[in-house]
Structure 1
Amino acid sequence: MEERPPSHPRVAWEESESSDESSSVLEPVEVESQQPDASWLPVYEEEEEAVDFIEAFVKNPEKDDVQKIKFLRNIVTVCTTAKEKGLLEGLDIFCFRNMLAENIQVLLDEEPRDKLCTVVRQQAMLAISALSTVEVVLEDEMMFLLLASFKSVFLLPPKEELDIRLYDTTLKSMDIMLQMLLISPPTFSFTVNLCSILQVGSFHSVGFTVAVPHPRAR
């Protein structure tokens, strides 16, 4: 898959170089004049509140769990509405400009490895599923998101030590994400890589029932 060139409004992004700030804080660097908000986006008229929250979230260095969950749910809302109402134009620019894939990965990486006490993981995987349906995430970005998702679950303590209800709903969200990706993967190489990850991951050990088709069968 060829790398998507930035379109107008064009924005370049870089991580903050300040040693006083967390490495997870992603800051925009403007290289061309751009509209002050996302009102140019066709889906904006339908989901103004969700779009505005997403843009505000990625610019805010202080994020609590409630805001993280709302951010992820709003991604699902915007993608779902855009898909259902045919308002996909410019959505790739919006996702690129706000580094949605990178911000989701940061949220997954920040989740504690020794406990499961919020729905951030499951909402992140549902957001990944939503992004895949509108095809706005590059293949490499999607693989990093998948690896972050797997790591956030596989490194947890045994399920007997966790909130079993939350654990089960998290696995269900991962199952939904994988089913979505297996139905319409971006490229042949993505399918091959995903199948390799699924085989190495030993999904049966965590209760998965995802059927993995051989890539040549597609």
Structure 2
Amino acid sequence: LWIFLLQILNPLLIKVFMTSEFEKGWQFGLVGGAKAWIPYWNIDTFFTQFLLGSLVALFLADRKSRLASSSIKFDIGALISLTAAIVLVLTRVTPGAPDSFTNQPYAAPWFSMLIAIFLGCSASSMYVWRFLDNRFAVFLATISFGVYLWHYFVISIFANSYFKDFQYFGVGSILRWAFISSLVITIAISIATLSWYFFEKPIIKQVKLIRNKQKAAND
């Protein structure tokens, strides 16, 4: 219900919080690009994604509580939803512009919905999950929050200090773009890994110890 309400509310948010035309656009740098992107990319769109993720988690928790078994129908559902997501991106996404129908970027909320369905079906599938549940994927999921936090910091340093053309639609050569992007990904993953082992993991471990002591004391 909340997802539908948010989608109904989104056009109003766009109208009320529309940015001015002064220095608006990616040609004016990150601030100008942000003015072009906002308010299309707003808290409404973000929250819809979070709710979709919550629905998938609820679906999986319910199946686990009922000890529901895997089924080939979820493999079919995963493949169909993933294919639909790819087709949606290829046919609907216009780089640097919101969708003409939903007025939201990245084909939201349809793309997020299809990916949510794909993840939910994959977790209950018989075969698809084998391609996703591997050591690298588990490791990347563990440090994913650090990657999310640090990658844009690395991008900003590169774009302002080393690769001036590393801006939205700024790199003309795909090989140059691939090289710079690989550097960003490698550095972001390296920082996120250090952050996990020396900062996040020790804090989580300490919090668990405190909670276990409190639980033991209460018992």
TM-score by length of 1: 0.28
Richer in helix (by share): 2
TM-score by length of 2: 0.28
**Between Structure 1 and Structure 2, whose CA radius of gyration is higher?**
2
